[in-house]
Chains A and B, each alone.
Chain A
């Protein structure tokens, strides 16, 4: 699973810490997701999509 959290975060001009605060997780969790070390729960994915104002599949894609 790859994701574009870093890109979406840059578009919104958010730091990892600010995004973490907005979705209610630790900065460590955002960092692990950006590094591809953690696949979030559906709840967290939906929260991220809401913050980034896009669909979940625009942020997370299955790798070929």
Chain B
């Protein structure tokens, strides 16, 4: 019945661990998102500075299609882990996976799409400059996070109804 191929249930725990790890790292050292590492308040040389391929890069004031450049990839690693974590949470099976949970999943997805759009629209008019960039970074995985929360809330509500039997 399920039209979406879902991941094994055990991967949900891995996803949660990844999200908490990334979130924890972000809270304790927010600069890591922007690729600047620090330790106990003092800046340190990042071990993640490598040469990477860059598309549509800035080259002395000119935009070039491709170039190699030095970049601290700690923020890329963090965002990849965060995205991977949110995908694992959002698309792993729940305990009782059937056509009803599939419908709840679809409802949660459409509601998350609406809420995410509204939040980004609000952010567009309320945040500017660096803060807006910061919000947009969160916008990369906010849809999946909102979806996971709405879906968990719906499942929880229906579990509550289980007290009704005869």
Binding site for B on A (CB under 8 A): 6, 10, 15-16, 24-29, 31-32, 34-35, 37-38, 40-41, 43-44
Contact = CB atoms under 8 A, between A and B. Distances in A.
A29 B158 CA distance: 9
Contact of B159 (A28, A40, A41, A43): A28
Nearest to A29: B100
Which label, helix, strand, loop or mixed, suits the secondary structure of the A interface? Answer: helix
Interface in B33-85: none
Interface in B80-123: 96-101, 103
B125 interface: no
22 contacts: A6-B166, A10-B166, A15-B165, A16-B165, A24-B98, A25-B98, A26-B96, A26-B97, A28-B100, A28-B158, A28-B162, A29-B98, A29-B99, A31-B158, A31-B162, A31-B164, A31-B165, A32-B100, A37-B158, A37-B161, A38-B103, A43-B1
Q: How large is the interface on B (under 10, 10 to 19, 20 to 34, 35 or more residues)?
A: 10 to 19
Contacts of A15: 165
Interface in B112-166: 158-159, 161-162, 164-166
A32 B165 CA distance: 11
A40 B100 CA distance: 8
A9 B4 CA distance: 31
B164 A35 contact: yes
Nearest to B99: A41
A32 B161 contact: yes
Contacts of A25: 98-100
Nearest to B103: A38
A32 B99 contact: no
A22 B88 CA distance: 31
B108 to A, nearest CB: 14
A16 B162 CA distance: 10
A1 to B, nearest CB: 14
Given A31-B161, A43-B1, 12 more contacts: A10-B166, A16-B165, A26-B96, A26-B97, A26-B98, A27-B96, A27-B162, A29-B98, A31-B164, A35-B164, A37-B161, A38-B103
